[in-house]
Every structure is written in C-alpha cells, then in structure tokens.
Structure 1
C-alpha cells in the first residue's frame, strides 16, 4: 500500500507542476505581456516560446527536487546519461522520420480533414503558426528532451516501479494523451499510440536518448512536410504513404528490439564468462 501511495504522490507532483507552470505562464502572458506594444505582437506570433519557457522552468524544478530531496541525479534517474550506439541512432531516426510521414499522411486524408479539424489545427499551430523557425527549433530541441524526461523518464518509471510493465506502458500512454489532447478520442488515440511507441524504444535501448531522437526526428519531418504544403505529400499520395510508413515503423521497430536483445545477451554472456 505504501508503494502505491508514494507512486500517486510523485505522479501528482509531476503532473501538478506541469499544469501549474504552464497555466501560470499563459495567464501571465495574457494579463501582462500581450498588451505591451513591443513584445505583445511578437509573443502572439511566437506563442510556442511559452511552451519552451515552461519546459525549462519545469526541468529546473525537477532537477532541484531530485538533487536536494531525493539525493540523486535526475539525469541518471531518467537514463539520460546512458550512451546509445550509432546503429541504434540510425534505426531510431528511421522510425522517427517514418512516424512523421505516417502522422502527416493521416492529417492529409480527406476523412480526417473534414471530420477532425481539431487535429489538423493543432498540428498546424505546432509546425506553422506557433512561431518562427528559430522558435520552432527551440521547441523541437527543448520540448523533445523535456517531454521525454517527464513522460518516459518520470511518469513511466513511477508506474513501472509499482505496476507490471505492460500496465505501466498503457497508463503512461493514456496520461500523455489526456494531458495534451483531453478526451477528444482521435487526438487521444494519436497521443496514446505515439507515447507507447516512444516508451518501447526507451525500454529496448535503455536510454532516454532513444525516445528523444524519435520525438525530434518525427516532429522535424512533420515540420518540413507542413511547410511544403502539398508538394511532397498530398491527399492523393496520403494512403500509399500511410501504408509504406507503417511498414517501415513496424519493421525498424522489430529490428531494433531484436538487435537490443542480441546486444543484451552478448553482454550477459561476457559478464558470466
């Protein structure tokens, strides 16, 4: 019972900090910044900077909490200090890019654009309307690192310490979807499956850099596809691209899983010898 209570308290700390910081920044921006003649219009055109600032503040808070109150390194706890091989970097990058094509294909389907305009709107905000290239680059780098620290490094590990791994994977996927997309089922499903894929990469490679690379390459790919409008990917090519990208994600994921298992087996045999 004690371990479950501890898990719940830590989860409330992580989730509560997320909402308090982001909501406070949004309220501060609306109440004190947007009406300023110089910075207000810039902030309105580069609103993703609020997310970047929130991520940096939260990282600082969690780093301090782990150092002062938990007596250990946040970076070590989330496995951000674990190295990753070049082969795995390439494989994960392929998974991330294919995932970017997959998601971009989904939002190009006429069925989706007509019935789920919220999904298309959110994607457009993140990759086109949320700021300049520099702001998006900050969002991509800072956001990819911090989101993986929060959801895979902290929230998933908290679940995994008290619950079976399969249940921990499902719960962190649901929490990710709910926190970012609420109860809108298509958006929730998108967030859930992405979170499950990223946590599997994290588990197989045993380094947070795995899910960070996947997150960054996926969003970087989507940014390029969104900027190029229909020149690379359009409604006509969406279905074949969807099928091909799905096959690539699945095949590369299976290859990565088997490769990591083989590496683990070799390492264990070497230790035993």
Structure 2
C-alpha cells in the first residue's frame, strides 16, 4: 500500500507540472492575450516568460500541497537544511567544475559536430531573453523548481517505497525524460546522479541548489560576455584537457564530500561507543 501511495504521489507531482506547463503555453501563445500587441511583443522578446510562470506556479502548488500530504512543510520534507562552510565551499567547487564542463564540452569540435543540440539548449536557456528575465528563469526559479521537484519531492517519495539505488535511478531517469532528445536525456540523467549524490552526502537540498546556481549563473554570464566566441577557435588540443580537468574537479569535490561524511559517521559511532 505504501509503495502504491508513493508512486501515486510521484505521478501527481509530474502531472501538476505538466498541466501547469501546458496551461502556460496556451495562455502565452494561443489565448486571446496574444492579440494584445504589448503582450505579444514582451513574450516574443522574452521567450522565458512562460517558463517563469510555469516554474513559479508549479512551485507554489507544491508548497501548498506538501503540508497536508506529508505533514511537513516542503522545506522540512525536502531537507532544505543549512550547510556548513566547508560543504558550501565544496559544492561551489563542484559547481565551478560543472560550469567548466558545460563550457568546454560544446567547444570540442567533434562533440559539437555530433551533438549540436547541447549548444542550442545553452543558447536558448541563457541568451534568448533579457538579462533580468534570464537570471530569474535559468538561475533562480528554474533551479529551485527542478531541485524541489526531482531531488526533493520525487526522490524522497521513491526512497520511502524503494531501496536507495532504484530510487536514485528512477528519479534520475524522470529528470532526463524532460528532454525527448536521447543525448540530452543521457546528459541530464548523469547530472541527476551527481545532484542526488551531493544531496545524500550533505543531507541538504540547499547544497544541490548552490551547485545549480553556480553552474547556471556562470554559463549565463560567460555566454553574455561572448566567451564562447573567444574560446571557440582555441582548438581541441587545449579544450580536451580543460574538459578532463572539469571532470576531475567534479569527482574530486564529490570524493571530498563523501570522505567528510564518512569521517563524521565514524566519529559519531566512536563517540556513542565511548559513552
């Protein structure tokens, strides 16, 4: 019974987001509001406005329904806990690694040629709207919605019904399904595994949000400054080592989080035994 309830809630969370998304698509692109010149111009110049509305409304609904369903606020249930300075610096380091990864991967010629959708996605996410709208959507509301929905609500719900590994894999797969494109799905699946690992090591959704914000803000600023054009002609001989270095940064940061958690667990166990 508990398993059915958990899977039912996961489906509910996803349906809420899909319904809100489709409603906003209709409102911004097919409703009578499109006949208003000022409205049409604002949306055409800032295509992230429907996304901002979708993220904000979905998040508000999740905040409202979590309390009666889980008997906890969404912050409590998703464990949006304070993190130590050490963990904060570590997740910032991981976020910087993610920033370098995202920037370098699309500037390796054979990867860019094989998977142009990566650059197209980053271009849409960070360059198509005004700077303010872009920051609000891609750096603030977007990461908050994604982390509360996938790492907070969905993963925790699956964790109550399933062992750890299946819960991690299913929540990561659902995160990847956002994109119908297989390479993008694979990329997001891997990112979800990273985010969930950090979530488990820090026991705080705030740590994952910090990584997400560092990555997205860094990509937005770099693309707005035209860094892509500067490094696009550097060549694979330089970009490939940078790409490998970014992966090493991410793995090193994750290892440091794991090591610290392991050390704290051992210390707690030894203290309990001595008492």
TM (normalized to structure 2)?
0.91
Do 1:144 and 1:216's aligned partners in 2 also have CA atoms closer than 8 Å?
yes
Q: Please say if residues 110 and 235 of structure 1, whose CA atoms lie closer than 8 Å, have aligned partners that are also in contact.
A: no
- 1:29-68 maps to which residues of 2 (within 5 A)? 29-32=28-31, 33-68=33-68
Q: For residues 244 and 115 of structure 1, what CA distance do their matches in structure 2 show?
A: 22
Work out the CA distance in 1 between the residues paired with 2:176 and 2:122.
Answer: 15
- Could you tell me which runs of 5 or more consecutive residues in structure 2 were left unpaired when the two chains were aligned: none
- 1:13 alignment counterpart: 12
Q: 1:232 to 1:115 in 2, by over 3 A?
A: closer
Q: Distance in 2 between matches of 1:225 and 1:241?
A: 16
**In the alignment, which residue of structure 1 is the partner of 2:115?**
116
2:135 maps to which residue?
137
1:66-108 Cα offsets, whole Å, 9 max, x none, are 223443211100001x110111111101101111111221122
SS in 2 for 1:83: coil
Residue pair 1:177, 1:191 contacting (<8 A) in 2 also: yes
| CA distance, structure 2, for counterparts of residue 238 and residue 95 of structure 1 | 19
The residue number in structure 2 matching 1:197 is 194
Pick from 216, 219, 222: which aligns with 2:219?
A: 222
Cα offset, 1:156, TM superposition: 0.7
| 1:186 counterpart residue number | 183
Matching of residue 264 in structure 1 with residue 262 in structure 2: no
Residue in structure 1 matched with residue 124 of structure 2 by the alignment:
125
- Residue 42 of structure 1, CA deviation: 1.5
Which residue does 1:246 correspond to in 2? Answer: 247
Deviates more, 1:70-79 or 1:107-116: 107-116
Asked if structure 1 preserves the Cα contact closer than 8 Å seen for 2:91 and 2:207, the reply is yes
| 1:223 alignment partner, SS class | helix
Q: Distance in 2 between matches of 1:34 and 1:118?
A: 29
Return the offset for 1:112: 2.7
**TM-fit CA distance, 1:61:** 1.0
Q: CA deviation at 1:270?
A: 4.3
For residues 56 and 168 of structure 1, the distance between their equivalents in structure 2, rounded to whole angstroms, comes to 26
Q: Per the alignment, do residues 232 and 88 of structure 1 end up closer, same or farther by CA in structure 2, a change over 3 Å counting? A: farther
Q: Secondary structure at the match of 2:229?
A: coil
Helix, strand or coil at the partner of 2:72? coil
Q: Distance in 1 between matches of 2:155 and 2:143?
A: 16
- When the two chains are superposed, the root-mean-square deviation of aligned CA atoms in Å is 1.7
- SS of structure 2 residue aligned to 1:108: coil
- 1:211 is the counterpart of 2:208: yes
Instruction: Using the TM superposition, give the Cα deviation of residue 271 of structure 1 relative to its aligned residue in structure 2, in angstroms.
Output: 5.3
207-216 or 116-125: bigger deviation: 116-125
Q: Would the aligned equivalents of 2:67 and 2:73 in 1 still touch at CA under 8 Å?
A: yes
Q: How far 1:141 moved relative to its partner?
A: 1.2
Deviates more, 1:203-212 or 1:108-117: 108-117
* Conserved? CA contact 1:17–1:58, under 8 Å: yes
Deviation at 1:115, TM superposition (A): 2.6
The alpha-carbon deviation at position 134 of structure 1 amounts to 0.8
User: So what's the TM-score if we normalise by structure 1?
Assistant: 0.92
